[in-house]
A and B are shown apart, each in its own frame.
Chain A
């Protein structure tokens, strides 16, 4: 390939008359000529997108870090949350599990059936409201609906089922024994 002179690309002469490659950086970044300007703006967009690409990669490794921290915390502790005799069939109870401000909701479906879910909607963390008479859990913020028996999303924008709180009945006491998160 035959090398070309640098000034072949220059249409307008800079005020100081020096060739393009001797011009200061700011003048090269803000060219006078339209063809050069179009080239520079495309190049700047490639640079910006590469920076965006770096930000997404950092985000991916942030998730790796968060996952490591979550694994380090270990399993949630077993805790008594309610008394079976105090919870009538169809009744609901709000409790905190596993941490103090992790609000959850317990529903007694029948004499022998109990379910509990995190109260945070998987869409934008609004508090969900169980409706045992309709068999659903409703999120009033964006009209999301979950199935009361399985916790799976059945309508609206929620992308995942509600995290299920694992329960155990010992005598008259109901214990929360762990949290089960799911993608489907």
Chain B
């Protein structure tokens, strides 16, 4: 078994996680707007936007989950022989 190593130092990962945080924050604000707009449309009887908005929100979540998974991968130690 080799010595566990990381391909990125903490100093290198810090700007990555900060950029990721800004990106995720923007997406979450977008989702909040999408939810309120869809609720307004639903209560107003406009059904045309409900399914597209749900899929757009799902896509946003998948993007956020993917970024979090990428961050986990960056942290995962790799073995050096």
Instruction: Provide the bound-state CA to CA distance between A47 and B28, in Å.
Output: 12
Q: Distance (Å) between the CB of A147 and the closest chain B CB?
A: 16
With an 8 Å Cβ cutoff, the count of chain B residues facing the other chain is: 48
Contact A160 B17 (CB under 8 A): no
Roughly how many angstroms separate A66 CA and B51 CA in the complex, as a whole number? 12
Answer yes or no: A8 CB below 8 A from chain B CBs: yes
A24 to B63, CA, bound (A): 30
Q: Which residues of B contact A (CB under 8 A)?
A: 3-7, 9-11, 13-14, 17-18, 20-21, 24-25, 27-28, 31-32, 34-35, 38-47, 50-51, 53-54, 57-58, 60-61, 64-65, 67-68, 71, 77-78, 80
| A74 within 8 Å of B (CB atoms) | no
Nearest Cβ in chain A — how far from B1, in angstroms?
12
Q: How far is the CA of A129 from the CA of B65 in the complex (A)?
A: 48
Tell me whether A53 and B10 are in contact in the complex, defined as CB-CB below 8 angstroms, given that A5-B5, A42-B17, A181-B45 are known contacts.
no
Q: Is the CB of A42 within 8 A of B38?
A: no
Docked complex Cα distance between A180 and B20 (Å): 45
Q: Decide: B24 and A160 in contact? CB cutoff 8 A.
A: no
Residues A60 and B57 in contact, CB atoms below 8 Å apart: yes
B32 CB to closest chain A CB (Å) equals: 6
A141 at the interface (CB under 8 A from B): no
Whether B17 lies near A39 (C-beta < 8 A) is yes
A-B complex: 8 closest residue pairs judged by Cβ atoms: A183-B44, A181-B45, A3-B5, A56-B31, A60-B57, A60-B54, A9-B10, A57-B61
